[in-house]
Structure 1
Amino acid sequence: MSIEIGVILPTSTPDPDRPVLGDVRASARFAEQAGIDSVWSTDHLVASGPMLDSTVALATAAAVTDRLTIGYNVMLLSLRPSAWAAKQVASLQYVSGDRLVLGVGTGNPAHGDTAWRAAGLSYADRGAHTDAALRVLPGLVTGQRVELDDGTRVAIAPGATMPPVVVAGDGRAALRRAARFGDGWATIAAPPRRVAQRLAEIAELAAGHGRAPVRATVVAPELDADPARAAEQLAEYEQAGTERVILAPTGPDWQRDYEHAGALRAAYTG
């Protein structure tokens, strides 16, 4: 199987009136038993609805599983000092046994700028801060001594293996960021043709940095409810250059969603 299927942990909600907040331990165990490849946690400080801390949630999922990939979907680096973000990433990579994927984004404007103001950081500069963090993160995570933007030299101990970085976003700045720093690119609900077009753009930009093309992660793809038909659609995504899909929750019943994801994986591999 060359395309992975992931699910989102019950740690947040797009609708404040219908919280999708459940037992992270039980959901992670269930996902692993269902044959799902990965579990993901959303990330924010002050969102439009309830949301658990992503690093705590992923550490919990890692502690009760052995095989699952765990991932940020996506970490907002611009809400954290770079050294602190590196400490979280390195620690999570260490305790999970190198099972982490670091999704990175700049934040959905729908949540507003409250989180940045609460953290004493600039919402307007979040893109630049993200780029600055991505420049130093590999060195920091792996325990090297790195000079930060203010001239401070610091090393994080213990170091860990730098996880794959998947850069999210469809704007030009995000595509340039994926080309320069990413090991992958993430998008929401894009059809296969759009995925292929964007990957071609990123590949052209990456060549300018002497970097290889990347593959895509598609969050909330529009798939048929029938697992057999959805498996055919996954084949189209794979041909377009997709390495992973992350299925969106349909409501508070995460177990039903995970059972569907497991059935889809079985149909695709069968």
Structure 2
Amino acid sequence: MTFFPDSAVRPGRLAVGVTLPSPAVQREQKLPLTEAARHAELAGLDLVAYGGRPAAGTPSLDTVVALAAVAAATERITVVGAAYAPALRPPVQAAEEIASLQHIADGRLVLGVGTGGGRDRWAAAGVPYEERNRRTDTVLRLLPRLLAGERVPLPYGPGYAAVECAPAVPMPPVWIGGTSRTALRRAAHLGDGWFPSLAPAADVARGAVHLAELAAAFGRPSPAVAVGTTGALGAGPDLPTRADIAAGLAAAHGSPRERFADVPVTGGCREAAERLHRYCGAGVTRVLMDIAGGDWRHQVDLLAEVRDLLR
């Protein structure tokens, strides 16, 4: 099992990070992606992420391109690809992209793996939706050998040559996104971490227990647990309330509002720290927050204060 690059995180401590702003926020607040990443690093956060957005359907940049820019613009902070879908690519292409990102990030990359996006996304890539899970597992099994520079036979049947990728790089930690049974089983079998998003602490705790049972059945240590959440810190008429954020999530996901009622992180820094601390009891060691409103830079500064309180 791969060690996490943010290894300074000790038992009982919660590493805190932020999801980088969407193109719309970058444009509205005159905040280039690389500047946002540097601001988060200078503020003292542990992680920055790009890829998946809690509000489904929000336009975003290509994950690989965005992460490459972020990795090159920062020096210390862990860089997380929040929803990379390796099954949309041939295994060699996925390996080359991941190896390039790990090389640019100098070992600071965490690969968050998902299978989302709906049938249309998979159809547009020429990949049958029904094959997404099999293809994802296949790539995850091949990646460690491909990134190590080994010569690996491709899983397409007779007649395909073996390939090797260069330069060799350390295998990044893999966080498996999602809360389905398939996602939990994949995390237990092939992941270094489980990465549920927009789930209350009680749900995460139940999932973590099941995750540990599955991992034991595979003869593996239980993966780490990282959580994606959303919120707006501080007070002011321009900030969405917890109810506002929950309603927006419900509309975006086509779910009852009650499902997200306990998810948003709002209020002052101490209140936010208390809310995030609930995840510690669920076995969570890392949390990534998507900023739901307000000035992004100021929100990151407040989140850094929350981090300090949690320490």
TM-score normalised per structure 1:
0.89
The reply to whether residue 256 of structure 1 matches residue 304 of structure 2 is no
Structure 1 match to 2:124:
118
Instruction: Give structure 2 stretches of 5+ with no counterpart.
Output: 1-8, 230-262
Structure 2 match to 1:267:
309
Structure 1 match to 2:64:
55
The reply to whether residue 242 of structure 1 matches residue 242 of structure 2 is no
For 1:12 and 1:178, locate their aligned partners in 2 and report how far apart those are by CA, in whole Å.
30
For 1:252 and 1:55, locate their aligned partners in 2 and report how far apart those are by CA, in whole Å.
27
**1:24 counterpart (33, 37, 48):** 33
**1:6 counterpart (2, 14, 17):** 17
For 1:170 and 1:20, locate their aligned partners in 2 and report how far apart those are by CA, in whole Å.
33
Given residue 126 of structure 2, which amino acid in structure 1 is its aligned partner?
Answer: G
Given residue 102 of structure 1, which amino acid in structure 2 is its aligned partner?
Answer: L
Structure 1 match to 2:108:
99
Matches within 5 A, 1:115-154: 115-151=121-157, 152=160, 153-154=162-163
For 2:30 and 2:60, locate their aligned partners in 1 and report how far apart those are by CA, in whole Å.
8
Which string of whole-angstrom CA distances, capped at 9 and with x for unpartnered residues, describes residues 228-247 of structure 1?
A: 12222333212321011110
User: What is the RMSD computed on CA atoms of the aligned residues?
Assistant: 2.3
Structure 2 match to 1:206:
215
Change (3 A) 1:4 1:136: same
Which string of whole-angstrom CA distances, capped at 9 and with x for unpartnered residues, describes residues 70-129 of structure 1?
A: 011110112111111111111111111100000001014xxx323222222112211111
For 1:159 and 1:170, locate their aligned partners in 2 and report how far apart those are by CA, in whole Å.
32
The number of residues matched between the two structures is 261
Give the number of the structure whose alpha-carbon radius of gyration is greater: 2
- Of residues 243-252 and 125-134 in structure 1, the stretch that sits farther from structure 2 once superposed is 243-252
2:115/2:136 contact within 8 Å kept: yes
Identity of aligned residues (%): 41
1:11/1:22 contact within 8 Å kept: no
Superposition deviation, residue 215 in structure 1: 2.1
Matches within 5 A, 1:164-243: 164-220=173-229, 221-243=263-285
For 2:133 and 2:145, locate their aligned partners in 1 and report how far apart those are by CA, in whole Å.
20
The reply to whether residue 71 of structure 1 matches residue 80 of structure 2 is yes
Change (3 A) 1:264 1:72: same
Which string of whole-angstrom CA distances, capped at 9 and with x for unpartnered residues, describes residues 210-238 of structure 1?
A: 10012211111533422112222333212
For 1:118 and 1:251, locate their aligned partners in 2 and report how far apart those are by CA, in whole Å.
32
2:46/2:78 contact within 8 Å kept: yes
Structure 1 match to 2:245:
none
2:14/2:310 contact within 8 Å kept: no
TM-score normalised per structure 2:
0.78
For 1:191 and 1:239, locate their aligned partners in 2 and report how far apart those are by CA, in whole Å.
12
Aligned to 2:44, what secondary structure does the other structure show? coil
For 2:106 and 2:294, locate their aligned partners in 1 and report how far apart those are by CA, in whole Å.
30
Change (3 A) 1:132 1:261: same
Given residue 136 of structure 2, which amino acid in structure 1 is its aligned partner?
Answer: T
Given residue 143 of structure 1, which amino acid in structure 2 is its aligned partner?
Answer: G
1:19/1:50 contact within 8 Å kept: no
Which string of whole-angstrom CA distances, capped at 9 and with x for unpartnered residues, describes residues 149-195 of structure 1?
A: 11431111111000111101111111110110111101112222221
